[in-house]
Amino acid sequence: MKRSVATFAVAAAVTFGARESSAQAVQNIVLRNSFNPIGAGARGLGMGGAFIGVADDGTAASFNPAGLAQLRRTELAVVGFGDELKVTQQVGDRAVTLPTLRHQAPDFVGLSVPFDVGGKNLTVELSYQRAVDLFGKGVASTSDIVSFKDLKINQPGNASVLANVSPEQSGAFHVASLATAYQVTSRLSLGAAVNVWIASWSDTGDVDFRVSTIAAAGRPAVVLRDASHAFQQKQSMRGLNANVGLLLKYPRLSLGGVLRMPFAGDYNLTETGKQRVADIGQPEQTADVDITVGSRLRWPRSAGVGLALRPFKGMTLAGDFTRSHWSRTAIEAVPDGALLTTADPNTTTYTDLNFFDLLPASQTATTDTSQWRAGGEYLVLTPKIIIPLRGGWFRDRSPVRDLATDEGRRIDGWTAGSGLNFSRLVLDVAFERRKSEGVVGLRLRRGKPVTSGATTENVREDRIVASLIYRAGGDDDPLKRALRYLFAGSKDDESH
């Protein structure tokens, strides 16, 4: 009788624990970024990312498409970044420094062409942006004492549950955009962008899960279940959405706003791996995992406002606020067993799961987030070049809930930047440091923060961004000459 109760307890523990915990393990451990949208470019980043109310260079559409109407010359912008992630974890009494992760990639490429339409400026831009960077590697260990009552077993006593997770993730959400902006009046500009989202990312790792009885006087602990799961996941998404923006500009003050529309994109998942389970009194069992899911990923709307002040010549002060509705981010119709959730051998249930905690969309603990950014720029004027001095500060919050507080982890950071601004060529560089701390691991009991046996970590991420912008001459614009030749012909053609 005791063995059957123990086996039942194990099954309940794995179902109860794995569905609540390992399902969200990858997201909680490797996704340390905020996900809140921010544009690309060293100039905007150097000002703390507060660029919605400024947006006056070739990267403008990534912040606020309406800002493109300020451009008077054709601009080609190229942006790249290098990133370094350092994580220090406190596991029990041990401080562990994880291997430093480094990577670099193109961040933005954009070509902007302004036209005169009825005496007002109309600008069109074609661009690419690495909108969301998905990379990271983590380790988390969680132990807890769970009563049989919590495991829905009508028996006094407790079980010890130990879980270890070591996932790694790489990939990105890429966005190709066609944007345009029109100068409606001398003060007001309106803009819009159509965005094609192409995302691809992969996850690999291991999950170990052990359930034991509690050692008592004269009775050693007994391992009821020892299970492991090695997994490989490949996920992708394709979607289409639009952004709209406005910019109201006065000599000393600018006010900008941007709305990024929600959308549902085609989502695909391929998951493979091997599971091993050893129950007390039973031979060890292994099983291959091979799951393919074709579904939809719902991406939420976000909105931002920005204010820019120019108190005197050469000085710009800016501040932005953005709100994103991450609680509405969901993968539709996910079958039990996919994304490391627990499969019921007797039935398959399809559920909409929140992207970040993989709980049913109706029960998700993922919260909407707010982002504050502020910064400034001062231009040092010399006879031949302009040297900008920039700095900024930001406070952000991740949609991935911290397992100790049940809130999204707070992210604080600062930025600094400078550059060289010639007549036609602009080179900008910026440095960003962001820091956060919190608890990672597995949630073994619904609705209860993790405090015992969890892993506490401190995260520091340093990013260097470089931008190169080429501005064509007004009457000597080769692209405009080519377009004019293509659509209007040469002057000799016009004379005939």
- CATH number, residue 286: 2.40.160.60
Domain extent at residue 78: 2-214+221-495
DSSP 287-307: EEEEEEEEEEEEE--EEEEEE
Residue 25 is predicted with a pLDDT of 55
Residue 346 is predicted with a pLDDT of 63
Name which of 132, 2, 54, 70 is nearest 319 in CA terms.
54
| Cα 153 to chain centroid, rounded | 40
What span, in angstroms and rounded, lies between the C-alpha atoms of 368 and 283? 46
Residue 3 is predicted with a pLDDT of 32
Name which of 338, 466, 459 is nearest 84 in CA terms.
459
Residue 343 is predicted with a pLDDT of 67
What span, in angstroms and rounded, lies between the C-alpha atoms of 57 and 112? 9
What span, in angstroms and rounded, lies between the C-alpha atoms of 313 and 196? 39
What span, in angstroms and rounded, lies between the C-alpha atoms of 55 and 257? 11
What span, in angstroms and rounded, lies between the C-alpha atoms of 284 and 227? 9
Tens of pLDDT, residue by residue over 171-214, are 999 999 999 999 999 999 999 999 999 999 999 988 888 888 88
DSSP 368-423: -EEEEEEEEEEEEE-SS-EEEEEEEEEEEEEEEEPTTTSSEEEEEEEEEEEEEE-S
What span, in angstroms and rounded, lies between the C-alpha atoms of 202 and 232? 7
Angle at 472 between CA 470 and CA 475, to 5 degrees: 175
Report the amino acid identity of residue 179.
A
Contacts of 60 (CB under 8 A, 6+ apart): 39, 67, 68, 70, 71, 112, 125, 181
Number of C-beta neighbours around residue 325 at 10 A:
17
Q: Are 339 and 353 in contact (CB under 8 A)?
A: yes
* pLDDT of the chain, 496 residues: tens digit per residue: 233 333 333 333 344 344 444 445 566 667 666 778 889 999 999 999 999 999 999 999 999 999 999 999 999 999 999 999 998 888 777 888 888 989 999 999 999 999 988 889 999 999 999 998 888 887 777 777 877 777 565 667 888 888 888 888 899 999 999 999 999 999 999 999 999 999 999 999 888 888 888 877 777 888 888 888 899 999 999 999 999 999 999 999 999 999 999 999 999 999 999 989 888 888 899 989 898 999 999 999 999 999 999 999 999 999 999 999 999 999 998 888 788 776 666 667 888 988 888 888 888 888 899 999 999 999 999 988 999 999 999 999 888 877 777 778 889 999 999 999 998 999 999 999 999 988 876 665 555 555 555 678 899 999 999 999 999 876 667 776 776 666 555 555 555 4
What span, in angstroms and rounded, lies between the C-alpha atoms of 44 and 174? 19
Domain total for the chain? 1
CA distance to 74, 91, 164, 474, per residue, from 118 (Å)? 19, 66, 65, 18
Side-chain-side CA neighbours of residue 78 (13 Å): 5
Residue 347 is predicted with a pLDDT of 64
Side-chain-side CA neighbours of residue 362 (13 Å): 1
Q: Which residue has the tokens 């031949």?
A: 384
Q: What is the pTM of this model?
A: 0.88
List the structure tokens of 36.
């809140």
Q: Which residue has the tokens 């000085």?
A: 315
Name which of 404, 466, 465 is nearest 436 in CA terms.
404
Contacts of 461 (CB under 8 A, 6+ apart): 32, 33, 83, 84, 85, 86, 432, 433, 434, 435
Q: Are 464 and 431 in contact (CB under 8 A)?
A: yes
Q: Are 465 and 426 in contact (CB under 8 A)?
A: no
What span, in angstroms and rounded, lies between the C-alpha atoms of 195 and 197? 6
Tens of pLDDT, residue by residue over 27-57, are 666 766 677 888 999 999 999 999 999 999 9
What span, in angstroms and rounded, lies between the C-alpha atoms of 205 and 166? 5
